[in-house]
């Protein structure tokens, strides 16, 4: 299994999904070797044991005590989840500025105006080469690659091992970039899907994109919905947030990027605040539109009513869910959307965009078009003002989420594995 990220060091839903799926496979007795495309910083390792490599300098391995049938390997690489060529370029340039005393001129002279974005693709293919080398010493029956950055590695490992390849599509370039797709990423995605024996989509919404935008034969595209990890129901409180006890909390939790629709959340917040005052809107997350979102809240005159927490980790995520009265996901294009399941698992009612995969599996959620800020605002007001509606959404939604188990997702993947193996 080839992935981008894994708890406790995650940037978003992909790591959560990989953990849930791998843990469930472990319980089913499936032997998994999980390969990560970056060296994990040991200072973030809470329940992970890092082992020094016995040979070579490019690989390391780690173990999770609670996973009995899973072995982990990391390949030393600066690749980050949700990277784009521009983000990768910015990260390299920022490191140069830090190294040279914050001087943009000095870092520019040092870099020689090198276009580091191309290095990102070199890293993707270097990862593929090292993964193929690693595979020579592993025993496995099938190759399972998660999202575009690992597809070249999946293709390489499948080629050298002559094993079937499964590619798992958690997100496409059309979800991340709209119609302004990065052609090289699109080409990598398409090649991965074309070369795969089976393609797993996280929803029918995503399956339709795979078939219509990538020209993949629908017969080999299967849908496996994500599950949700059940947590305890402890009552958490954040520290000093500036939120009064009598204020309702409406939560946005996710990457603050075009795909997640943060501007629609803020526009709806303005309309809600025009009709009721005892509401605070919390935006939990980080992303390339973070600064623009802060500016937009100020421009709308609601800056004092919007709290930006930045990126939250594990325990703080559970804390903010426990504080929230309502979760809103106005995503422009969401292949699935695990956060609404987590919210419902914490007894928080949800409003989700119709342009999401999770809307296919949640019946007790209010659904809106992402662009319809008037309707989003109307539904927010309805939930906050009418306790019977809030109670119904919360109780029925929580019951509904209990049926979405990673065990079932893992079992479906195993069935797809078996189909691919029979076809060989």
Same domain, 223 and 256: no
**CATH code of the domain in which 105 resides:** 3.40.50.2000
Same domain, 206 and 59: yes
pLDDT band at 42 (very low <50, low <70, confident <90, very high): very low
Q: What phi-psi label fits residue 147: left (phi over 0), alpha (psi between -120 and 50 degrees) or beta?
A: left
Mean of pLDDT values over 48-77 = 60
Same domain, 267 and 415: no
CA atoms within 13 A on the CB side of 324: 32
pLDDT band at 110 (very low <50, low <70, confident <90, very high): very low
What was the pLDDT predicted at 36? 83
Q: Is residue 128 part of a domain?
A: yes
Long-range contacts of 395-403 (CB under 8 A, 24+ apart): 396/363, 396/364, 397/344, 397/349, 397/350, 397/362, 397/364, 397/365, 398/344, 398/345, 398/347, 399/364, 400/344, 400/362, 400/363, 400/364, 401/228, 401/341, 401/344, 401/345, 401/362, 402/230
Same domain, 411 and 390: no
Q: Is residue 169 part of a domain?
A: yes
Q: Is residue 1 part of a domain?
A: no
| Number of domain units in the chain | 2
Q: Has residue 93 got a pLDDT over 90?
A: no
50-59, 105-114, 327-336: range with lowest mean pLDDT = 50-59
Same domain, 194 and 272: no
Q: Has residue 342 got a pLDDT over 90?
A: yes
Q: What is the DSSP letter of 304?
A: G
H/E element, 268: helix 262-273
Cβ-contact 73, 138 below 8 angstroms: no
Same domain, 282 and 395: yes
Q: Is residue 5 part of a domain?
A: no
What was the pLDDT predicted at 136? 87
**DSSP letter for each residue of 84-101:** -HHHHHHHHHHHHHHHTT
Same domain, 198 and 284: no
Tokens of 226: 């994500």
Choice between 348 and 231, residue whose per-residue pLDDT is larger: 348
pTM: 0.84
Q: Round the average pLDDT of the chain to a whole number and report it.
A: 84
Cβ-contact 4, 35 below 8 angstroms: no
Q: 326-329 and 248-253: which strand pairing? A: parallel
Mean of pLDDT values over 161-185 = 94
Same domain, 17 and 151: yes
Same domain, 288 and 143: no
Same domain, 301 and 266: yes
Choice between 91 and 409, residue whose per-residue pLDDT is larger: 409
Q: Is residue 344 part of a domain?
A: yes
Domain containing 36: what range? 13-227+407-423
Mean of pLDDT values over 164-181 = 95
What was the pLDDT predicted at 353? 98
Q: Is residue 127 part of a domain?
A: yes
pLDDT band at 39 (very low <50, low <70, confident <90, very high): very low
What was the pLDDT predicted at 424? 74
Q: Tell me the pLDDT tens digit for each residue of 244-297.
A: 668 999 999 999 999 999 999 999 999 999 999 999 999 999 999 999 999 999
Q: Is residue 56 part of a domain?
A: yes
Q: How far is CA 402 from CA 123, 184, 192, 340, 345, in A?
A: 40, 40, 33, 13, 8
Q: Tell me the pLDDT tens digit for each residue of 206-245.
A: 999 999 999 999 999 999 999 987 654 444 444 455 666 6
What was the pLDDT predicted at 56? 38
Q: Is residue 3 part of a domain?
A: no
pLDDT band at 13 (very low <50, low <70, confident <90, very high): confident
Same domain, 77 and 129: yes
Same domain, 67 and 193: yes
């Amino acid at each position: 299994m080839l992935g981008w990220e894994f708890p406790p060091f995650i940037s978003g839903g992909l790591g959560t999904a990989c953990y849930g799926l791998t843990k469930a496979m472990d319980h089913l007795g499936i032997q998994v070797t999980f390969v990560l495309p970056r060296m994990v910083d040991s200072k973030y390792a809470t329940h992970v044991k890092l082992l020094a490599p016995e040979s070579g300098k490019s690989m390391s391995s780690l173990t999770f005590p609670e996973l009995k049938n899973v072995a982990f390997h990391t390949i030393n690489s600066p690749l980050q989840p949700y990277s784009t060529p521009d983000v990768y370029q910015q990260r390299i340039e920022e490191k140069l500025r830090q190294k040279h005393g914050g001087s943009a001129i000095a870092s520019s002279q040092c870099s020689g105006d090198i276009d580091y974005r191309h290095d990102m693709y070199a890293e993707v293919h270097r990862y593929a080469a090292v993964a193929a080398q690693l595979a020579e010493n592993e025993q496995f029956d099938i190759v399972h690659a998660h999202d575009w950055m690992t597809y070249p590695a999946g293709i390489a490992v499948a080629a050298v091992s002559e094993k079937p390849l499964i590619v798992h599509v958690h997100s496409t370039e059309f979800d991340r970039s709209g119609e302004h797709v990065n052609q090289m990423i699109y080409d990598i995605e398409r090649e991965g899907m074309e070369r795969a024996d089976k393609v797993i989509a996280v929803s029918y919404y995503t399956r339709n994109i795979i078939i219509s935008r990538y020209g993949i034969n629908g017969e080999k595209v299967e849908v496996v919905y994500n599950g949700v990890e059940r947590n305890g129901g402890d009552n958490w409180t954040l520290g000093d947030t500036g939120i009064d006890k009598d204020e309702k909390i409406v939560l946005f939790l996710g990457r603050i990027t075009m795909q997640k629709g943060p501007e629609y959340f803020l526009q709806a917040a303005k309309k809600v605040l025009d009709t009721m005052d005892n509401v605070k809107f919390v935006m939990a997350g980080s992303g390339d539109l973070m600064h623009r979102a802060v500016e937009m809240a100020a421009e709308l005159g609601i800056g004092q009513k919007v709290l930006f927490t930045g990126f939250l980790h594990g325990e703080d995520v559970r804390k903010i869910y426990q504080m929230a009265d309502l979760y809103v996901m106005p995503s422009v294009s969401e292949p699935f959307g695990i956060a609404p399941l987590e919210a419902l698992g914490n007894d928080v009612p949800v409003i989700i965009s119709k342009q999401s995969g999770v809307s296919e599996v949640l019946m007790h959620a209010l659904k809106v078009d992402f662009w319809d800020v008037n309707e989003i605002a109307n539904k927010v007001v309805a939930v906050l003002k009418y306790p019977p509606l809030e109670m119904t959404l919360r109780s029925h939604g929580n019951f509904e989420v209990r049926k979405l188990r990673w065990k079932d997702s893992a079992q479906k993947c195993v069935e797809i594995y078996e189909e691919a193996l029979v076809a060989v």
